[in-house]
Structure 1
Amino acid sequence: MKNAFTHITALLSTCALLLTACGGSNTSTNSTNKIIPIGIAVAQTSNVALLGQEQVAGAKIAEKYFNDKGGINGTPFKLVFQDTAGDEAGTINAFQALINKDKVVGIVGPTLSQQAFSADPIAERSKIPVLGPSNTAKGIPEIGDYIARVSAPVSVVAPNSVKAAIKLNPNIKRVAVFYAQNDAFSKSETEIFQQTVKEQGLELVTVQRFQTSDTDFQSQATNAINLKPDLVIISGLAADGGNLVRQLRELGYKGLIVGGNGLNTSNILPVCKALCDGVLIAQAYSPEHPGEINAAFRKAYVDQYKKEPPQFSAQAFAAVQVYVEALKSLDQKSKVNQLQIQELRTELNKQLLTGKYNTPLGEIGFTPIGEVVQKDFYVAQIKMESDGSKGKFTFLK
C-alpha cells in the first residue's frame, strides 16, 4: 500500500506540473512556456494592405533580429498576427482576439488612424498597451493612458513637404487640395496641409473630396485643373492616391504634387507608374540614417526584398523594438514570466513610456501621454524610369 500511495502521489505531482506548463494556471502570463507573445494588428488584406504588408515585413525583421540577439534577456518572444483588414469592425475583432484569446502583452497597430479611434478604446478598457506604428492623426495618444505611438503626428511631418515644394518652385501661388473624406487620418492631415498653405501665403483655390474606395477621379481632377493650380496636395491612401496622381497627369496637370503619408509607400508605383514621377512626400524615416540598428535593419530588408526599406516597415520595426527593450528593462526588475498577465501589461505600459530607444527612425522617446518624441525628418521625391517599370524615393537635401 505504501508503494502504491507513493506512486499515486508522484503521478499527481507530475500532472500538476504538466498543467502549469500547458497554461493550466491563470496566475502568470501566456509565457509560462518561455515565449512572450506580442500582438501585431495591421491590415493584411483590403486596399489598406498596400501599407499593412510593409508593416508585417518590418515587424518580422524585428522579430528575427532581436530574438537572434537573445530576445528578452534570454527568453524568446513571438509575434502574433491578426489581420484588421481595412475597416473598423475588422480591427475591433483583431484587437479582441489578441487581448482575450492570444493573451499578448501588448499590441502594435492598427494601420490607419480611422481604425485606431475605434479599436484603441477597447485596449484602453482592457489595460493593455498599444503602440500605433502609423497612426498620425490628431488625438491618438489622448485616447487613453495605454495608447502611444511611434509615428510622428501629421502636424509635425506634413508641413515639410509643402515647404520643399516651394523651395523647388518659388513661383507657386495657387494650390488645389484633395482628401479622402471617409478616412480620419486624411481629414486630419488635410487640415494641416490647408493651414500650411495659408501660413505660406499661398492661395487655396479648391478643396476636392473623394472616398478611399474611389477609382474614378475625372470630375474632381478636371474641376481642379480648370482653376490652374501650381501645386496639388493629396491626402488619401496608396490605391486611391496613386490613381488620382495618374488621372491628374493624364488630364494634363504638369505642376508639382505633394502626397500625404498614406501615399508614402513604393506600392503606389505600380498604380501610377511613370506618372508617379516627381511626387513629393514627407518622411519620418530615411534608409540613410546613421547608426548600427538602422544599418542592420536596412541590410535585412534589402537582402530579402531587393529594395530600400520604406517608412511603414521602419516604424513597425521600431514599435517591436520598443516592446522588446521595455520588456528587457522590466525583466531586470522582476521576471516577466512570473507576473500575472494584467500586472505585466500594466507594468510594461509604465516602462515603455519612460525609455529612450535608438531605432531606425533615430532616437525616440515618449511624452507622459504617449506622444512620440522624434527629431529627424525628411522629404523624398519619387524618381521613376521613363517606362514606369521601376522607381525609387530620392531624399532631398
Structure 2
Amino acid sequence: MNMTRRRFPIVLSTLAVMVTACTSANPGTSTGGAPQAAGTNGTIAIGVGVAQTSNVALLGQEQVAGAKIAEKYFNDKGGINGTPIRLVLQDTAGDEQGAINAFQSLINQGKVAGIVGPTLSQQAFSADPIADRAKVPVIGPSNTAKGIPQIGDFVARVSAPVTVVAPNSVKAALKLNPNIKKVAVFYAQNDAFSKSETEVFQQTVKDQNLELVTVQKFQTTDTDFQTQATAALNLKPDLVIISGLAADGGNLVRQLRELGYQGLIIGGNGLNTSNIFPVCKALCDGVLIAQAYSPETPNDINKAFRDAYVAQYKKEPPQFSAQAFTGIQVFVDALKELDKTAKVTQKPLPDLRVALNQQLLQGKYTTPLGEISFTPEGEIVQKDFYVAQIKMDPDGNNGKFTFLK
C-alpha cells in the first residue's frame, strides 16, 4: 500500500454510508488485555452509517436498502468462507457532527473492521479523518467531491469523482438540443459537494464554448427559490444546471417550471434519486442526470442485485443503492481473500483492519457498477458511465430514469 498519500486539511463536504465489522454489542478490549479477535461471536459485523434522518435521508434510505440486499446476498452465498456478515446500522443524519458521532460509535463501541460511508462528502471531510487515525478502512459510497481519497491512507471510495461523471450530462444536453447557447447555474453554497460539483459544471460550460449567464447560490435548507429563479430566467437561459440535494433541488426544479422555464434542466448527483419525484412531481419530467450505474450492467451480480431490488421495492434500483451494495461487496471480497491465508475471525481486530485496507486496494471486483478497482491512493477505477432522463407518468406521481443511448 502507498503510505505516502497526501492528506488534505479537514474541510466541510457532502454524501455517505458506513460498513463496520462489529463483533458484539459492546466488544471492547479491557485495559491491558489482548485485542479481541474479529469474529468472537461467530459473525463479521459490517456497520452501515448513513443519513437515515434529516433532509439527506432521501439519499441515505436508498443506501440502507442496497446494504441490506448485499447482506442477504452474501450470507446466502456463505458469507466470509462460512462466517456470516452482520450489518450494524448507524444514523449519521445530515450534518458533520452526526457523521462524527456515528464513526466514533462504530469504531470505539462497535469495534468496526471497516466503514462504508458517510452519505455526504461534507460529512466525509469531517468524519473520515477519525477513522483514518484509528486505522479503520473507509469506503465512501457516495462521496464524489474532489479530495476524498486524499484524506488519508485508510480512505477509498466506490463513487466516481464528479470531475469524471458531471461533464457527461452537459454533453448529453447538447446532443438533445444543439442550439443551447446560454446557461444558468444554481448551487448550494453550504454544501461542499455541491460547491465542488458546480466548479466542474461551470468549467464544462466554458469548455463547450457556452455562455454562463448567471451563477445563483442557495442553501440546502431553502424551500423558496423565487428570487434566484426569477433573476436567472430574466436572462433567458437555454439550459439550467442545479447542484444541490434532492429536497432543495426538487423544489428548485418545480419553481423554475412554474415560472415558465421550458428548456433543459441538468441535475447534479444530489438529485440522482427517485425520492425527488414526490417533490417536483410531473415537473420533474425531462431532467437530465449523469449516472455511475445502470440497471442494465451485464453481469451476474448486477442481475442478482437488480432482481432482489425490484422484487422488494417494485422499481429499478438507483445509483445510491448500487454503490452501497458495492461498498459492502468490496469488504466481503477482500475479507474472503484474507481468509484464504489466515482465518479473519481469529485475527486481532487492529491487525485485521490494516490487512483489510491493504487487500481491498489490491483487488479487482465485478460489481453492479461493472468492473472496478482502486488506485494505490484509494480512487475508484471505473470504465462505464451513463446519462439518464427522468420520465414521469401522466399522473405525475411516479416516474423512472430512462437511460439515453
Q: TM-score, normalised by structure 2?
A: 0.92
Would you say 1:361 and 2:369 are equivalent positions?
yes
CA distance in 2: counterparts of 1:198 and 1:387, whole angstroms:
38
Q: Say if 2:229 is the partner of 1:221.
A: yes
Q: 1:79 aligns with which of 87, 90, 115?
A: 87
SS at match of 1:78: strand
Alignment partner for residue 207 of structure 1, among 194, 200, 215? 215
Written as runs of structure 1 = structure 2, the 5 A alignment for 1:1-397 is 26-397=34-405
Query: Alpha-carbon deviations, 1:329-359, whole Å to 9, x = none?
Result: 0111111111111110000000000000000
Aligned equivalents of 1:286 and 1:26: distance in 2? 46
Deviation at 1:77, TM superposition (A): 1.0
SS state at 1:75 partner: coil
Aligned partners of 2:37 and 2:355: how far apart in 1? 13
User: One-letter code of the match for 2:45?
Assistant: P
Q: In the alignment, residue 275 of structure 2 is paired with which amino acid?
A: N
**Counterparts of 1:73 and 1:338 in 2: how far apart (Å)?**
13
Residues in 1 aligned to 2:247 and 2:109: alpha-carbon distance in whole angstroms: 33
Count of aligned positions: 377
Q: Which runs of 5+ in 1 are unaligned?
A: 1-20
Q: CA deviation at 1:258?
A: 0.2
Q: Aligned-pair distance for 1:115? A: 0.2
**Contact 1:242/1:271 (<8 A) preserved:** yes
Q: One-letter code of the match for 1:115?
A: Q
Give SS of 1:248's match. helix
Contact 1:23 1:30 in 2 (8 A): no
**AA of the residue aligned to 1:77:** I
| Structure 2 match to 1:5 | none
Counterpart amino acid of residue 91 in structure 1: A
TM-score by length of 1: 0.94
Greater helix fraction, Structure 1 or Structure 2: 1
| Alignment correspondent of 1:11 | none
- CA distance in 1 between partners of 2:29 and 2:335 (Å): 21
Show structure 2 runs of 5+ residues with no match.
1-26
Q: Percent identity?
A: 79
Aligned-pair distance for 1:387?
2.0
**SS of the residue aligned with 2:377?**
coil
Q: Which residue of 1 aligns with 2:21?
A: none
Larger radius of gyration: 1
Give 1:22 shift: 11
Greater mean deviation of Cα atoms: 26-35 or 60-69: 26-35
Q: Residue 39 of structure 1: SS of its match in structure 2?
A: strand
Distance, in Å, in 2 between the alignment partners of 1:275 and 1:335 is: 54
Runs of 4+, deviation exceeding 2 Å = 21-30
Please give the secondary structure, in 2, of the residue aligned with 1:40: strand
Which amino acid in 1 is paired with 2:329?
Q
- Could you tell me how far apart the structure 1 residues matched to 2:291 and 2:365 are? 19
Deviation at 1:389, TM superposition (A): 1.6
**SS in structure 2 of the partner of residue 342 of structure 1:** helix
Provide Cα deviations, 1:252-309, integer angstroms capped at 9, x if missing partner. 0000000000000000000000000000000000001111000000000000000000
Backbone CA RMSD of aligned residues = 1.2
Q: CA deviation at 1:30?
A: 4.0
Superposition deviation, residue 23 in structure 1: 8.0
Contact 2:38–2:346 under 8 Å retained in 1: no
Matched letter for residue 214 of structure 1: D
The letter for the 2-side match of 1:313 is S
Give the CA deviation at 1:390: 1.4
Whether the aligned pair in 1 keeps the contact of 2:48 and 2:90 (CA below 8 Å) is yes
Give CA deviations for 1:235-266 in whole Å, capped at 9, x if unaligned.
Answer: 00000000000000000000000000000000
